[in-house]
Amino acid sequence: MKDLSNYRKSYEKNELLETSIPEDPINLFNKWFYETEEFGGVEEVNAMTVATIGLDGFPKSRVVLLKKFNEEGFIFYTNYNSEKGKAISNNPHVCLSFFWHSMERQVIIKGIAEKTTETISDNYFDSRPDGSKLGAIVSPQSEVIPSREFLDEKLKQLEKDFQDKEITRPSNWGGFLVRPTEVEFWQGRANRLHDRIRYQLQNDFSWKIDRLSP
Give 84-117 pLDDT, tens digit per residue. 999 999 999 999 999 999 999 999 999 999 999 9
Residue 43: which residues within 8 A CB-CB, separation 6 or more? none
**Which residues are catalytic, by number?**
192
* Residues 88, 53: Cα–Cα separation, whole Å: 8
Q: What is the pTM of this model?
A: 0.92
Separation CA 126–CA 112 (nearest Å): 26
Instruction: Say which CATH topology domain 18-128+171-212 has.
Output: Pnp Oxidase; Chain A (2.30.110)
Contact present, 66 and 75 (Cβ < 8 Å): yes
CA 104 to the chain's CA centroid: 18
| Position 8 pLDDT exceeds 80 | no
pLDDT at site 6:
73
